[in-house]
């Protein structure tokens, strides 16, 4: 019996090698303007990969 | 570092440094809780007392051990030594500006963090020349970045709409010759929206942020004109018109909740009833002695509202009537890289605010605080000491974040919130942290539940 289901998440170690292009959205340019969180920013490179 | 929590019917375990998300059963949940500081024998003995000598228990233990060996549970922090280098990568490049095209407003909201658009200074609108120079400054300092973001902000930016229009036209010309791609956002209270402005916004703005606090009585309590009259009746039809004509482009109905409405789910329901589906609801930012400030007593109410909101979203997803809540948008698979997760919002480095006079500040929330003036759009940054404080901000620079499981989702938090709560941009706004952690729990719960709905 499987007790654990792991959701697919981004490999952060890999992103240390190929990330950091800086093209993604600045978090405060979206809807908040008074708090900070980066979790909802999508990566521009994975977006390109999806197209 | 792991974080375990239960929400709805779900047991969830997050592994901070691998960013893994595990949906587990109750047995695995309990076992993972003991795993780090007990031997296998101790863990199994304890579990046997509750569940009997079931061989499944050892099997479960082995599944946990396998995830540990794969680096997806109890992963070590390999990023801390890289933090300065990772953050440094994006220093000296500016890619986003908040253009304060109007330090004035046609509403007089007492809870406004920008003191009714004046930012504790004089009323002023940005001239076209200052605006053009700001766009040139952004292009000149954007190095290899292609995507440049400009938010037309205020005050109320539509009080200077003519300049907004001309600046967009100017940017569209310049982006072609410079190989850039401008993405514009308009943040508005809606009072001046008309058919022409709606058509312009829907054509040119990548995102539109529409300020509406939800229920009429809540909205009109604060969002009043200078005659003291509420604005709800005047703006809602305009917002509906804009959204109906917007197609698939981004927008947010953005509300603020205060001590007057910690039960903000009612306001979200009102927004849904009005036909809006892209929603954001932000905790008010104001001094603690302000009557609208959120209190410790409000905290459990807000926490419960966040959970109820997640459950409502799931229910609507099941019904085929989904809606978006800004803070529950989380991209597990295609989310930000470790650079972004360590560096945060980029205020004062890659993101700055420009006043109507062309002064530069680390972000819109610091405008009017003279010590934070970084320079101007003609001479660039000259206040290096202050900028360095922002360049030094990263997820590892705040000791309070060391033990926080959510740090790689928040990237160290909002420097302005930290400053206003503690007097230092390197401080921590603990109340905001509580809310943030809850929102991430809810966001990940929704991802887990949606994965079951759409396998």
Cβ atoms < 10 Å from Cβ of B108: 16
| Residue A1 distance to chain B (closest CA, Å) | 7
Partner residue facing A26 (CB), from B67, B96, B330: B96
Query: What is the pLDDT at residue B88?
Result: 67
Average confidence (pLDDT) over B387-406: 91
* Domain segments of chain B as ranges: 2-76
Which residues lie closer than 8 Å to B19 by C-beta, 6 or more apart?
A9, A10, A12, B332, B335, B408
Where do we find the tokens 């994975």?
Answer: A46
Task: Write the DSSP assignment of A1-51 as a string of letters.
Answer: ---EEEEP---HHHHHHH-----SPPGGGSS-SSS---TTPPPHHHHHHH-
Cα–Cα distance for residue pair B324/B327, rounded to 1 Å: 9
Looking at the complex, does the CB of residue A48 fall below 8 Å from at least one CB of chain B?
A: no
| Residue B49 distance to chain A (closest CA, Å) | 19
Contact (CB<8Å) A30/B339: no
Partner residue facing A36 (CB), from B27, B344, B408: B344
What band does B113 get if pLDDT is binned at 50, 70 and 90? Answer: confident
Structural contact between residues B235 and B193, judged by C-beta atoms closer than 8 angstroms: yes
Digit-coded pLDDT (tens) for B82-101: 887 766 665 689 999 999 99
Alpha helices, DSSP H, located in B319-429 = 338-343, 384-391, 407-410, 415-422
Looking at the complex, does the CB of residue A8 fall below 8 Å from at least one CB of chain B?
A: yes
Residue A40 vs residue B423, higher pLDDT: B423
Residue B265 vs residue B80, higher pLDDT: B265
Structural contact between residues B264 and B232, judged by C-beta atoms closer than 8 angstroms: no
What band does B102 get if pLDDT is binned at 50, 70 and 90? Answer: very high
Q: How much of chain B exceeds pLDDT 90, in percent?
A: 87
Looking at the complex, does the CB of residue A51 fall below 8 Å from at least one CB of chain B?
A: no
What band does A48 get if pLDDT is binned at 50, 70 and 90? Answer: low
Which residues lie closer than 8 Å to B323 by C-beta, 6 or more apart?
B272, B276, B277, B278, B279, B313, B316
Q: Across-strand partners of B11?
A: B6, B24
Inform me whether the pLDDT recorded for B340 exceeds 60: yes
Inform me whether the pLDDT recorded for A49 exceeds 50: no
| φ/ψ of residue A45, rounded to 5 | -75, -40
Q: Which two tokens stand for residue B247?
A: 């197609």
| Pairs from B399-404 (Cβ < 8 Å, separation ≥ 24) | B400/B428, B400/B430, B401/B428, B403/B1, B404/B433, B404/B437
Length of chain A: 51
Q: Which residue of A has its CA nearest to B344?
A: A38
Digit-coded pLDDT (tens) for A5-47: 999 999 998 888 888 888 888 877 666 777 767 777 888 886 5
Digit-coded pLDDT (tens) for B233-288: 999 999 999 999 999 999 999 999 999 999 999 999 999 999 999 999 999 988 88
**ipTM, 2 dp:** 0.89
| Chain B residues touching A37 at Cβ < 8 A | 327, 409-411, 436, 439-440
CA distances in angstroms from B217 to B43, B111, B237, B350, B372, listed in the order given: 55, 15, 16, 39, 37
CA distances in angstroms from B372 to B43, B96, B251, B284, B359, listed in the order given: 54, 18, 31, 22, 10
Looking at the complex, does the CB of residue A35 fall below 8 Å from at least one CB of chain B?
A: yes
| Residue A44 distance to chain B (closest CA, Å) | 9
What's the pTM value of the predicted model, to 2 decimals?
0.95
Contact (CB<8Å) B64/A31: no
Digit-coded pLDDT (tens) for B147-178: 999 999 999 999 999 999 999 999 999 999 99
Query: What is the pLDDT at residue B344?
Result: 83
CA B368 from centre of chain: 22
Peptide bond into B377 cis (omega under 30): no
Inform me whether the pLDDT recorded for B326 exceeds 60: yes
Contact (CB<8Å) A36/B59: no
């Amino acid at each position: 019996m499987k007790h654990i289901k792991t959701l697919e998440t981004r490999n952060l170690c890999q992103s240390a090698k190929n990330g950091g292009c800086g093209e993604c959205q600045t978090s405060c340019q979206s809807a908040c303007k008074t708090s900070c969180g980066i979790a909802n920013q999508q990566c521009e490179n994975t977006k390109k990969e999806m197209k | 570092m792991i974080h375990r929590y239960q929400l709805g019917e779900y047991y969830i375990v997050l592994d901070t440094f691998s960013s893994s998300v595990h949906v587990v059963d109750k047995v695995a949940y309990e076992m993972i809780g003991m795993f780090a500081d007990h031997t296998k024998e101790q863990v199994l003995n304890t579990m046997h007392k509750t569940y009997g000598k079931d061989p499944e228990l050892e099997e479960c233990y082995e599944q946990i051990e396998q995830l540990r060996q794969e680096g997806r549970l109890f992963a070590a922090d390999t990023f801390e030594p890289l933090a300065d280098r990772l953050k440094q990568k994006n220093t000296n490049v500016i890619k986003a500006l908040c253009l304060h095209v109007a330090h004035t407003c046609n509403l007089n909201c007492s809870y406004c963090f920008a003191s009714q658009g004046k930012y504790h200074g004089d009323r002023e609108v940005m001239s076209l020349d200052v605006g053009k120079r700001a766009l040139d400054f952004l292009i000149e300092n954007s190095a290899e970045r292609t995507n440049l973001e400009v938010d037309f902000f205020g005050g109320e930016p539509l009080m200077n709409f003519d300049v907004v229009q001309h600046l967009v036209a100017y940017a569209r010309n310049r982006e072609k010759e410079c190989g850039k791609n401008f993405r514009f956002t308009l943040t508005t209270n809606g009072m001046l929206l008309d058919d022409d402005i709606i058509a312009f916004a829907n054509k040119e703005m990548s995102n539109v942020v529409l300020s509406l606090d939800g229920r009429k009585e809540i909205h009109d309590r604060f969002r009043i004109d200078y005659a003291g009259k509420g604005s709800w009746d005047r703006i809602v039809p305009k917002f509906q018109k804009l959204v109906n004509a917007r197609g698939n482009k981004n927008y947010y109905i953005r509300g603020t909740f205060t001590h007057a409405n910690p039960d903000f789910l009612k306001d979200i329901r009102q927004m849904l009833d009005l036909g809006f589906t892209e929603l954001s609801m932000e905790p008010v930012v104001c001094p603690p002695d302000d009557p609208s400030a959120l209190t410790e007593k409000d905290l459990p109410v807000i926490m419960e509202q966040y959970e109820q909101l997640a459950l409502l979203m799931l229910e609507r997803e099941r019904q085929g009537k989904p809606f978006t809540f800004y803070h529950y948008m989380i991209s597990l698979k295609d989310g930000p890289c470790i650079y972004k997760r360590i560096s945060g919002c980029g205020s004062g480095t890659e993101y700055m605010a420009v006043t109507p006079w062309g002064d530069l500040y680390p972000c819109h929330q610091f405008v009017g605080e003279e010590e934070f003036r970084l320079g101007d759009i003609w001479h660039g940054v000259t206040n290096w000491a202050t900028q360095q404080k922002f360049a030094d901000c990263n997820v590892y620079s705040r000791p309070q974040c060391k033990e926080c499981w959510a740090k790689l989702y928040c990237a160290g938090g909002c420097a302005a919130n930290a400053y206003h709560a503690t007097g230092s941009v390197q401080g921590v706004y603990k109340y905001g942290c509580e809310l943030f952690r809850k929102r991430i729990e809810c966001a990940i719960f929704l991802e887990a539940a949606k994965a079951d709905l759409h396998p």
